[in-house]
Structure 1
């Protein structure tokens, strides 16, 4: 027996040590709520801590993954708890022992202010108050308000804890943050989806109820419903979710729902691996599969996501446009959005014979864009909003308390580029009202290089450049934005290769990801002139050529404002007219 005593003793010691370590890593904290918020300290590069929150009025807890501070506090995030005043919340933390540093610093507060210095916070593009954002979701209009829901992590600046953030605007340019609209539940995280206004009460939740159809992503992806009768301020999840269970498909997500007037029914476009599947419904709760589109057409270099189907007028006829985002497989690497033009009969989409793939934006930083629903007939616009980032480097861009912003809202139209039908996009007219002052510059005749040294006095990095380029001789010409540190953005037009190229490899901070400095190209048809509109907003450049015939969106992170404009022309003459620089706020 003695020979077994030492090994048995050793085993007991090991079990005790392991058990003690596990108890150290799992910590509990009970808090009596006396304020509107609990504030959590976050350390950007710390390990995630599984945070379980038990509420007094919920049978099941909420579970989030938070990078609780372990040695320093980079920023704070909030949990809204005001409705539990006078009651106790139990918090359970499962993670590194070092998280004790952050757990001890969790504090109650009636105030939450984001006052961190953010040199790359945009002036006239939407960005989340704090935390991570990706796809725009549920874009809709109701009673004077544009609603923007979005993929949101309210507990950190990296992807995770997918919820629906919410903001509203009366003019598409200034936004008011609202509380998180949809939180994860037992079916999973809240992935992308859409919102419709049920004018005819087809679902039975009331006339003009706001209905959200979204993907729950847990063990599988399924489609779910939530409804609001207070203009989106609160949502109730449908008790019989999911409304479309998973049929055995890994990628089964991003429902975009719209009303199909000819047959008085709802249509859903749903991303299903590398195709789009269409469903129909009379009541938004019971859905029938209609057809599938995508095999053998367009780009299939990555997973299809975030479809959107809508009609536009082209040459006096109704055509249908199908947007499909793809990751990876964009024309310049990473994620991008392709589109198809054709006909839809309420069941099937048939694409016209065009030179697919066609891209709504040839820059690297416009993804998962969709359009607003319920825009009035008197307005009549099809308004698009995209996520201004790329999955190649989205989690690493050099901002602090927030990460990502949206593109400028854009009006979509079908036009002819001289060869065939294309989808153009151009800033909505509301953006024009943001222009505070405009400086006019004299026309330039460029035979080698010409430089305008000060575009705006007191330029803070948010401005608009408009001009007309007329290449009279030579194949290569363009312009450069630069600063006194030598950082620059190059826009190169090459008529020989019939392409336009944006280079940001010397634009400032580029070392956070080795794919960020890569250039980007778009096809360019030879023309007598090119009308340029370039929107610059701290860390973004949105280039629109010939009223949105070509669009390129690019992020860049300069160390100081680019306030110098240089024109160049190789082996020829470039004439530049109507040069206007506007201060945009």
Structure 2
């Protein structure tokens, strides 16, 4: 691997030491560890030679990059898949083994199979290395079918595999022993495309308690469908929704299996640009998903998991005209309790002019993010002016409204090497809480 150039890397958003990164894969929690595999080109900063890269974390902030685990073979490049624990001791493997359904992308001429095939790898050393099995998990449905996501459905006593087939079509497959999955439903979801996920979420009421649970069918660009699932068929019960508001940065998000608290924690690929010819793309900040019912419709909430929030170090609470110094080697958390009229400036060490200005427009309901030359806008809507959390991480900005129902992201990659050491609350009617993680 190439040597790491620290000044081109964010603090909280994982990126490999060198190379290309895209879809998160094989997300599984075990023994206090969040495993993160991902689509990788370890040989260059552009898409090619798809391999499964590997990193892991105990706190969802600090990631240890390890050696790649799946390389292209006679069946094709290693495309996306998932991970789960072998809690039921399938396939003659120990219960502490990890299972990894994946896509072998056999589209190149001369390969043994010109179709994309769904196969299985496993690990008996805690995810450090993966061993490929020779068999396929299911019969191909279309030339490019891909991206299996598998989980155990307790109510119907079977493993469920969801798969993108083609166009807006997805398949739901079942197996009682992690072999020979059979189709139970082919479903067309308008606007949905590749990288499916299917999970059950609690609905959080106004009192903060769980009022019910609903199933969510997720597609790559953040399109999601809320409905019912009986282990065999998914039935949408409301119109499609979009998780990300006016942004194309996040894509192909996947959820971790095996969380001991039963949470649904998700991480997306962020399509950030190549920096210093060193690395292309990062992962987003993991989010804990729940649902909220607003005006009769279910909406996803994107909360920061406690592993992260518990490590945010409070720095200061500012009112209009006040400023505060922070550590240069940190990601910045900004909590505004009233957006109206708010302007926040970020300064580098020794500089009198801000390198980033965040300014809320009361008329449009948008936050403008300006570096003095270019301005990006995050549109929240005027109804969400009461509260917001902004995370600034060396040019990558993630923003959520106070109720966590709107999540927006943007990237200013030319700011990656600039280290902020002072925050100024230039104007605003409320208070600004400043925190940091490093």
Do they superpose with TM above 0.5? yes
Unaligned runs of 5+ in 1: 1-76, 78-112, 326-335, 445-450, 472-476, 511-516, 569-573
2: CA distance, partners of 1:532 / 1:561 = 23
The correspondence for 1:388, drawn from 262, 270, 294, is 270
Give the drift of 1:557. 2.7
Matched-pair contact (CA < 8 Å) for 1:339–1:360: no
The correspondence for 1:309, drawn from 193, 198, 215, is 198
1: CA distance, partners of 2:184 / 2:226 = 19
2: CA distance, partners of 1:494 / 1:272 = 45
1: CA distance, partners of 2:405 / 2:419 = 28
Give the drift of 1:130. 1.9
Matched-pair contact (CA < 8 Å) for 2:264–2:288: yes
Q: Which has the higher helix share?
A: 1
Structure-1 residue corresponding to 2:255: 371
RMSD: 2.6
Give the drift of 1:208. 2.9
| 2:401 paired with 1:545 | yes
Matched-pair contact (CA < 8 Å) for 2:332–2:391: yes
Give the drift of 1:286. 0.5
Structural mapping, 1:152-551, within 5 Å: 152-219=40-107, 220-240=115-135, 242-247=136-141, 249-273=142-166, 274-295=168-189, 297=190, 299=191, 304-314=193-203, 316-325=211-220, 336-354=221-239, 356-360=240-244, 362-376=246-260, 379-389=261-271, 394=272, 396-417=273-294, 420-442=297-319, 444=320, 452=322, 454-457=323-326, 459-460=328-329, 462-469=331-338, 471=340, 477-483=341-347, 487-494=355-362, 499-503=365-369, 506=371, 519=376, 521-522=378-379, 524=381, 526=383, 530-551=386-407
2: CA distance, partners of 1:480 / 1:259 = 47
Could you report, residue by residue, the CA deviation over 1:98-148 in whole angstroms, capped at 9, with x for unpaired residues? xxxxxxxxxxxxxxx7243x4231122222122111111111111221111
> What is the TM-score normalised by the length of structure 1?
0.66
Give the drift of 1:410. 0.9
Matched-pair contact (CA < 8 Å) for 1:198–1:208: yes
Structure with larger Rg:
1
Could you report, residue by residue, the CA deviation over 1:231-259 in whole angstroms, capped at 9, with x for unpaired residues? 1122221122x323433x24311111111
Higher relative contact order (CA 8 A, sep 6+): 2
Count of residue pairs the alignment pairs up? 417
SS at the partner of 1:203? helix
> What is the TM-score normalised by the length of structure 2?
0.87
Could you report, residue by residue, the CA deviation over 1:347-393 in whole angstroms, capped at 9, with x for unpaired residues? 11111224x332245433221111110112xx12111111122xxxx
1: CA distance, partners of 2:188 / 2:301 = 22
Structure-2 residue corresponding to 1:580: 433
